[in-house]
Amino acid sequence: MEVFILENYDEISKKASEIISEELKQKPNLKLGLATGSSPIGTYKELIKEYESGNISFKDVVAFNLDEYVGLNKNHNQSYHYFMRENFFNKIDIKEENCFIPNGSAKDLEEEVKRYDNLLEEYNYADIQILGIGENGHIAFNEPNFTLSADTSVVNLTDDTINANSRFFKHKKDVPKTAITMGLKGILSSRKIILIASGEKKARAIKQLLIGKVTTSNPSTFLNLHKNVIILIDKEAAKLL
Ligand code: F6R
């Protein structure tokens, strides 16, 4: 695990974008694992700038997202489909048919999670997976629990996560209580993982992650089992180290 403690969020975003851009130049048909939330927005902005400058192209890239709320359709302004279009996909030359996100409004969710895992397997997983981390240590929506799912699954969001995500919704009651999330197998099968954390609120989870032990009470600690993880954090997130 390689840990970079950077000055601030902008520096994290630049570093993440640099790593991804380099890989993309080496491999134009890169398979990118993507996240939503505040953490990767700066990285997407930097990648968009690189694209606009003509330094990189996403025309052969395949993208897989980690998760989606159950019950929000693709055009709902808090759905992760909408987030990805607004913050990234609509601003680069990626092909719509190469962007995969779990369908949270599928009629048969059990079929949908199987479909998503089959897809990941078919493409042989991501080359680079971008991750944020929850204050409670969740990665994607794999929440702290007695057991964690290896496969993509439908999960109940914890109160902590619902509270944290209520900042994006008008009323807390509007935050969905369930989501589809990629499981630990999908995440850990990526060739390289970049985890981004900014701000003091993430400091406790980061400290636990970097102790190097594995516990289901902080799902991010499973990243200690992976050989190629880059942790990009700012000084606040590194406060307890
Ligand atoms: C989002 C995701 C979540 C977030 C996490 C941190 O696709 O998988 O695990 O990465 O909740 O969210 P932010 O970045 O908003 O602090």
Would you place residue 7 in the very low, low, confident or very high pLDDT band (cuts 50, 70, 90)? very high
- Cβ pair 100, 150 in contact under 8 A: no
pLDDT grade for 28, boundaries at 50, 70 and 90: very high
- How far apart CA 47 and CA 189 sit, in angstroms, is 24
Per the prediction, the chain carries an average pLDDT of: 97
pLDDT band at residue 203 under the 50/70/90 scheme: very high
Cα dist from 153 to 28, 186, 218, whole Å = 30, 11, 18
CA-nearest residue for atom 2, ligand 1, is 140
Mutate to test the pocket of ligand 1, among 12, 38, 39 (most ligand atoms within 8 A of CB): 39
Which has more confidence, 120 or 158? 120
Ligand 1 atom having least distance to the Cα of 67: 7
Q: How far is the C-alpha of 67 from the C-alpha of 211, rounded, in Å?
A: 27
Residues labelled as active-site residues: 67, 136, 138, 143
Q: Residue range 148-176: average pLDDT? A: 92
pTM > 0.75? yes
pLDDT of residue 153: 98
Q: Is the CB of 132 under 6 A from ligand 1?
A: yes
Q: Is the shortest distance between the CB of 144 and ligand 1 below 6 Å?
A: no
The whole-number pLDDT of residue 109 equals 97
